[in-house]
């Protein structure tokens, strides 16, 4: 079973707020987890990747993985209107080459 579940939104928050985006997954073999940002009519761009459980921070973005509950999170601090986009989470088994499994994406709107 290869599924990643994600609330499609839209999620609308005021500028400057902390945003929390979440996914759940079902495949216990997943070791690598990614977050992609996709602007309208553009290709997905890699924001962050993490390996196994734990946190990873990059600027205003923090990715969090809890493998025990099969839960993936992305936090955006000091959100900006330019963060308005669709955010895709993805997972895949370690060392695998047969493709990541993507969630359907959450549409995020940051209101100025």
Query: Which part of the chain contacts other proteins (CB under 8 A), choosing from 12-20, 38-46, 61-69, 77-85?
Result: 38-46
Q: Does 88 bind other proteins (CB under 8 A)?
A: yes
3-state SS, the chain, equals CCCEEECCCCEEEECCCCEEEEEEECCCCEEEEEEEEECCCCCCEEEEEEECCEEEEECCEEEEEECCCCEEEEEECCCCHHHCEEEEEEEEECCCCCCCEECCCEEEEEEC
- Candidates 26, 94, 109, 111; binder of other proteins (CB under 8 A) is 94
The residue count for binding other proteins (CB under 8 A) is 29
Q: Report 47-76 residues binding other proteins (CB under 8 A).
A: 49, 51
Sites of contact with other proteins (CB under 8 A): 2, 4, 8, 32, 34, 36, 41-46, 49, 51, 88, 90, 92-100, 102-105
């Amino acid at each position: 079973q290869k599924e990643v579940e994600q609330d499609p939104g839209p999620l609308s928050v005021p500028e400057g707020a902390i945003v929390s985006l979440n996914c759940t997954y079902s495949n216990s073999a997943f070791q690598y987890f990614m977050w992609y940002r996709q602007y309208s009519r553009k290709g997905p761009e890699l924001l962050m990747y993490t390996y196994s459980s734990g946190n990873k921070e990059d600027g205003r973005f923090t990715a969090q993985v809890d493998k025990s509950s099969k839960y993936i999170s992305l936090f955006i601090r000091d959100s900006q209107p330019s963060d308005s986009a669709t955010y895709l989470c993805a997972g895949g088994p370690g060392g695998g080459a047969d493709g990541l499994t993507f969630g359907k994406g959450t549409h995020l709107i940051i209101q100025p």
